[in-house]
Structure 1
Amino acid sequence: MSTETVYLQRDQPDGVPPLALTGERTLPDVPEENYWFRRHLIVYEHIRARVGGLRVVDMACGEGYGTDVLGRTAASVVGVDANPEAHEHARLKYTRPGVRFARDLVETFDEPCDAVVFLQTIEHVQDPDAILERFRSLVTADAEPGRPGVAYVSTPNLLTLAPPGAEKSENPWHVKEYRAQEFRELCEAHFEHVEILGLFHARKLAVHAFAIDRLRWDDVHKGLRITKPFYDWFTPAITESDFVLSADRDLDEALDFLAVCRTS
């Protein structure tokens, strides 16, 4: 009999089935997953502030929380995901006006839009060039003069995700992980203007990273036998403000990259 712990979302609205944490997608409402949720949420919030009044497609939207965030400012948002459980969960949970969900593949969804959002997923795909070319076609299909289409694409940094010298982390869902320059070159092969931002730790996460690197904090809490109580407190306390997006810092040290890809 398996003794592996199963983490389910807590406190879901009535009639909304909770999703289980599998590692394939990030979930809110799971305290143990809060670091990754906040790490992704800060990027959605950054994009939300830039898509006001636009028609947006959130590709591979998963649980749907990001689609809902984008819906606060966008004229309309479609969250696209092929997974039946995730689609049903999102459809029932997020009912903001202007937000809807489509159960479809990224490769086949075919509604023109002003902006495509594709976060933490390009590392999962077999043919990223085909995906980016499809995004370009969606945002240029009926683009208005003077308003270029845009795709927001994020992915983890190979150099900070995988062990030193490795070409891939142990994440079984990932096909290809990128360094900053190769990610830029991939995006520039399909879009005229590409800006790469890096996501970095800030505030208490920056202090925590310093304590691990310089003060051997991992050894200290293990020696004191407080590892679990410490992280049971620390992880749920992480917020979006514990991360920062920047174009001015060394991208090789970034946790994730966010490419802002424009058609003109």
Structure 2
Amino acid sequence: MSEPAEQPLYLQRDQPQGVPPLALTGERTLPDVPEENYWYRRHLVVYEWIRERVGGLKVIDMACGEGYGSSVLGAAAGEVVGVDANPEAHEHARLRYTTGNVRFARDLVETFGEPADAVVFLQTIEHVRNPDEVLEHFKAIISESASPLVVVSTPNLLTLAPEGAEKSENPWHIKEYRPEEFRALCAAHFASVEVYGLFHARKLAVHELAIKKLGWDAIHKRLGITKRFYDRFTPAISAKDFILTTERPLEGALDFVAVCRP
């Protein structure tokens, strides 16, 4: 995510009447900020993937932030509760995304305990100091369900941080995980754990190849077209420019997505 700043650099554009725009601080991703579109789509594709697996279920979207993910899940789930402790994010989500089957609760992920079939916890476990307690809490929430499911995602330390580093420069992150660390964390609490990797696809795969093989980062700087190129390229990224799979080595993944069942 983007680095935090003392003064907000970006605000959400074109919000519905009566919905206050949120500022991009780096703590969470936001839709409706063109400069943030890469990160937003990178998160959105996972929500869309989960949506296909929670049809008719009651889902708790923990640390839901702005609320867009809860809305996505609500297109298939029987009921969705988006949970976030931040007052500004909660108010924004409540005003923008509440529908007949989607509602929002202002609470901590450690204490919200409403029973459900599924818990979704995306790109947040790297922010918490007590991941084992949090996962045990989620397991308790789904304990009475006939179709229990917990989905947890986190960025890959190996592709997020500089080579050899134990953590990226993101000040909001407490612990970033290698593939084996993340799998072991989830397996300590759930009997069944399947870990998917998120990778670039389509134009992002071409862009990644151009950087690695052709030195594109240096070329656009020499040509003086960096801002012009990315002002067009970044807003054009879509969820289709990412792929979730178990068929590639997790060491090269951008993010891990663990599908956990007790």
> Which TM bucket (shorter chain)?
over 0.9
User: In 1, distance between residues paired with 2:203 and 2:34?
Assistant: 17
User: In 2, distance between residues paired with 1:250 and 1:160?
Assistant: 12
SS in 1 for 2:142: helix
Displacement of 1:97 in angstroms is 1.7
User: In 2, distance between residues paired with 1:103 and 1:237?
Assistant: 33
SS in 1 for 2:203: helix
Query: Counterpart of 2:245 in structure 1: which amino acid?
Result: S
Paired residues in the alignment total 258
Residue 71 of structure 1: aligned partner = 74
Alignment deviations for residues 37-78 of structure 1 (CA, whole Å, 9 cap, x no partner): 000000000000000000000000000000000000000000
Residue 100 of structure 1: aligned partner = 103
Identity in percent: 71
Query: Counterpart of 1:28 in structure 2: which amino acid?
Result: P
Query: Counterpart of 1:208 in structure 2: which amino acid?
Result: H
8 Å CA contact 2:8, 2:24 repeated in 1: no
- Superposed counterparts of 1:1-264, under 5 Å: 6-140=9-143, 142-144=144-146, 147=147, 149-263=148-262
C-alpha RMSD over aligned residues: 1.1
- Structure 2 unaligned segments of length 5 or more: list them: none
Q: What TM-score, normalized to structure 1? A: 0.96
Query: Counterpart of 1:241 in structure 2: which amino acid?
Result: K
Displacement of 1:4 in angstroms is 5.7
User: In 2, distance between residues paired with 1:208 and 1:110?
Assistant: 43
CA separation of 1:202 and 1:118: change in aligned 2, threshold 3 A: same
- Structure 1 unaligned segments of length 5 or more: list them: none
Displacement of 1:3 in angstroms is 9.2
Displacement of 1:95 in angstroms is 2.4
User: In 2, distance between residues paired with 1:213 and 1:236?
Assistant: 22
Structure 1 residue ranges, 4+ long, deviating more than 4 angstroms after superposition: 2-5
CA separation of 1:89 and 1:178: change in aligned 2, threshold 3 A: same
User: In 2, distance between residues paired with 1:59 and 1:214?
Assistant: 39
User: In 2, distance between residues paired with 1:95 and 1:193?
Assistant: 33
User: In 2, distance between residues paired with 1:211 and 1:97?
Assistant: 46
Q: What TM-score, normalized to structure 2? A: 0.97
CA separation of 1:111 and 1:205: change in aligned 2, threshold 3 A: same
Query: Counterpart of 1:124 in structure 2: which amino acid?
Result: H
Displacement of 1:221 in angstroms is 0.5
User: In 2, distance between residues paired with 1:169 and 1:12?
Assistant: 32
Query: Counterpart of 2:116 in structure 1: which amino acid?
Result: C
Displacement of 1:204 in angstroms is 0.2
Alignment deviations for residues 157-184 of structure 1 (CA, whole Å, 9 cap, x no partner): 0000000000000000000000011100
SS in 2 for 1:257: strand
